[in-house]
Amino acid sequence: MPYRAPVKDIRFILDHVVGFADVLATPRFTGTTPDLAEAILSEAGRISTDVLAPLNRAGDLSPARLENGAVVSSPGFAEGYRAIAEGGWVGMAASPDHGGMGLPIALALSVDEMMSGACLGLQLKPLLSKGQIEALEHHGSEELKALYLPKLTSGEWSGTMNLTEPHAGTDVGALRSKAVPNGDGTYAVSGQKIFITWGDSDLTSNVCHLVLARLPDGVPGTKGISLFMVPKFIPDAAGNPGKRNTLRVVSLEHKLGIHGSPTCVMQFDDATGWLVGAPHNGMAAMFTMMNNARLSVAAQGVGVAEAALQHALAYAEGRRQGATPLSKEGTIIEHADVRRMLAAMRAEVFAARSIGLSCAVAIDMATATGAADWKARAAFLTPIAKAYCTDIACEVAHQGVQVHGGMGFIEETGAAQYLRDARILPIYEGTNGIQAMDLVGRKMADGGEVAFRLIDEVQRGAEAARGKLPDLAGDVWATAEALREATEALVAMGLNDRFAGAVAYLRAFARVLGGQAHLKAALADGGREALARVMIRRLLPENLGLLAEVREGAAGLYAVGGDDLAA
């Protein structure tokens, strides 16, 4: 079955689970009426289903390639990207001052998800542009904004993010790239960067690189890093692509998946660049882009999971094999174990989608109100959304292969592509271990205040639901209480002890938020109760083991020596 954008499910979550109506009620977003939001989702769903989804397999089988130093895109990608750019989808949430629509992030994220589910390899291109737009809006000079933002927003030009170097991955402060003032307001940027998504393209007339590098007076570590705009073609006096800059694609990475997305090794040799933000403040500017990208990657995870689930469901509904409890010669969906896998997959996708959109709503409310509580909530939910949604992408795609049985291991069925494509997502934009450490470290610097507020909210909702769904409400309340107790223990720990249980803690928190989302859904629509029971009665109990791990600390891990780990 071809991919179909899940417009109905997204609208249900916006309307009944994450409080999107509150966003539309703010003065900042009053122009985004419910009818407009519905029209946007429907049209994005149509493009994703009819235009982008047919390109997904072509991108896998006919990867982007490097010819004479330039990237040649997969078949059909030019037409697909044109539909994205000409439809205004790149600049949905961008400022109207430079041609954007100024729409809520929750809507933009919903579109990201649908386009990712349709064709992740292509959707990665506008994703990086969106992050660059936000970084320039917050940190770029007026001159840079006027020159670059209209072209990026329209999709005429595209953006990239250049952090990683062969010797400096998560430890960005170890980078060796340098920038030397040219004396005319520009800088000569030199160095090599790796893992640069869509570092070159034949789909746009210019590729704009945001590059981290160190000025001559930059101190060691992250505090000495600056950020520079380094375009492939230096804009001329009219703002059009002019002289070719001194940068090049060295090679394309040979990857497990997302073959349609060219991941480049980039070389900068005294390339002309312009400072973005203050000198030595590059990490602050880059984190604006990274936080945007982290939530977008969460949406990618949900999109791939949705697509993998649809693929597996179609196979299970059509594959006849043996007698089942329901018929003498039924399809495999009638077997309890296959039904178990598909039900769990759907429950996980719903929970992940709800968590991602809840984070987006918090960002929108922070933008609309400026309230510190909303900003703190958005910051807390970002690592949870990024890690949980991308882990679920891998888990659901894995189960999708399992549903296919032996045929899932055969490339021709297409099931394996979702698993291969999804595997990068828990690594992108800070590995999920880093997300978990951020959650229990920086995001717990308030003593757990935001965490406790979210737990309070879950328990209030569960209390209110006891009259209609007493068993489900009771389970959600009890699991939230266990999370509260584990949180109290966590904030009393030293930082490294927190880190040892960070991944388990993040998953446990996501499980509770997922249970809350399913409970809300079942209250709003009785037809969703069966799926809520799968989440709350079958998956939520995993928290007992997760929270036990949280309490263990780090000592037991360091007691495992080299001899214990060796074969």
Digit-coded pLDDT (tens) for 189-211: 999 999 999 999 999 999 999 99
Pick the last residue of a domain from 118, 142, 166.
Answer: 142
Looking up tokens 């107790």 gives: 485
pLDDT, tens digit (0-9, with 9 covering 90-100), for 462-497: 999 999 999 999 999 999 999 999 999 999 999 999
| Mean pLDDT, the chain, whole residue set | 96
In a domain, 438, yes or no: yes
Nearest to 311 by CA among 412, 400, 411, 409: 400
Instruction: Please give the pLDDT value at position 170.
Output: 79
Report if residue 308 sits inside a domain: no
CB 153 within 8 A of CB 90: yes
More confident residue, 173 or 231: 231
Q: Is residue 515 part of a domain?
A: yes
Using CA atoms, how far residue 267 sits from 190, 191, 264, 272, in Å, is 8, 6, 10, 13
Q: How far apart are CA 183 and CA 245, in angstroms?
A: 18
Q: Residues 479, 532: one domain?
A: yes
Indicate whether 550 and 511 sit together in one domain: yes
15 and 125 both lie in a single domain = yes
- The DSSP output letter for 231 is E
| Same domain (yes/no): 131, 172 | no
Residues 136 and 261 in one domain: no
Q: What are phi and psi of 244, to 5 degrees?
A: -70, 130
Q: Which residues constitute the domain of residue 277?
A: 158-283
Q: Of 222, 251, 283, which residue sits at a domain end?
A: 283
Q: Average pLDDT, stretch 161-180? A: 91
Do 81 and 135 share a domain, yes or no? yes
Same domain? 93 vs 171: no
Q: Check residue 287 and give its pLDDT.
A: 79
Helical H segments across 140-212, by residue range: 142-154
Tens digit of each residue's pLDDT (9 = 90 or more) over 295-308: 999 999 999 999 99
CATH of the domain at 23: 1.10.540.10
**Is residue 420 a contact partner of residue 260, using CB atoms and an 8 Å limit?**
no
CATH for 238:
2.40.110.20
pLDDT tens sequence across 337-355: 999 999 999 999 999 999 9
**Cβ(207)–Cβ(231) under 8 Å?**
yes
The dihedral of CA 163, 166, 170, 171: what is its sign?
Answer: negative
pTM of the prediction?
A: 0.96
Q: Which residue has the tokens 């296959």?
A: 338
Q: Is residue 524 part of a domain?
A: yes
Q: Do 13 and 134 fall into the same domain? A: yes
Query: Quick one: which of 270, 266, 263 has its CA closest to 250?
Result: 266
Does 113 qualify as catalytic in the annotation? no
What pLDDT is stored for residue 545 in this prediction?
97
Alpha-carbon distance of 122 to 521, in angstroms, equals 32
Q: How confident is the model at residue 323 (pLDDT cuts 50, 70, 90)?
A: confident
User: What six digits make up the tokens of 65?
Assistant: 């390639």
The domain total for the chain is: 3
Q: Is the pLDDT confidence value at 417 over 90?
A: yes
91, 217: one domain:
no
Q: Please give the distance of CA 553 from its chain centroid, rounded to a whole number.
A: 29
User: Is 479:515 a contact under the CB 8 Å cutoff?
Assistant: yes
Q: How far is CA 448 from CA 7, 376, 551, in A?
A: 35, 11, 16
Written as six digits, the tokens of 184 are 């005319």
Residues 175 and 253 in one domain: yes
The whole-number pLDDT of residue 562 equals: 84
Closest CA to 140 of 290, 277, 281: 277
Distance CA 101, CA 130 (A): 12
Measure CA of the first residue to CA of the last residue in the chain; give whole Å.
45
Q: Is residue 437 part of a domain?
A: yes
3-state secondary structure 469-501: CHHHHHHHHHHHHHHHHHHHHHHCCCHHHHHHC
Q: What single DSSP character describes residue 93?
A: S
Exactly one of 317, 429, 481, 552 is catalytic; name it.
Answer: 429
Residue 147 domain-assigned? no
Both 129 and 52 in one domain: the answer is yes
Per-residue pLDDT, 328: 79
DSSP readout, 199-220? -S-SSSSEEEEEEEEE-TTPPS
**Does the residue 177 lie in any domain?**
yes
Instruction: Tell me, yes or no, whether 255 and 163 share the same domain.
Output: yes
Asked which of 90, 110, 142 is the last residue of a domain, the reply is: 142
Does 294 reside within a domain? Answer: no
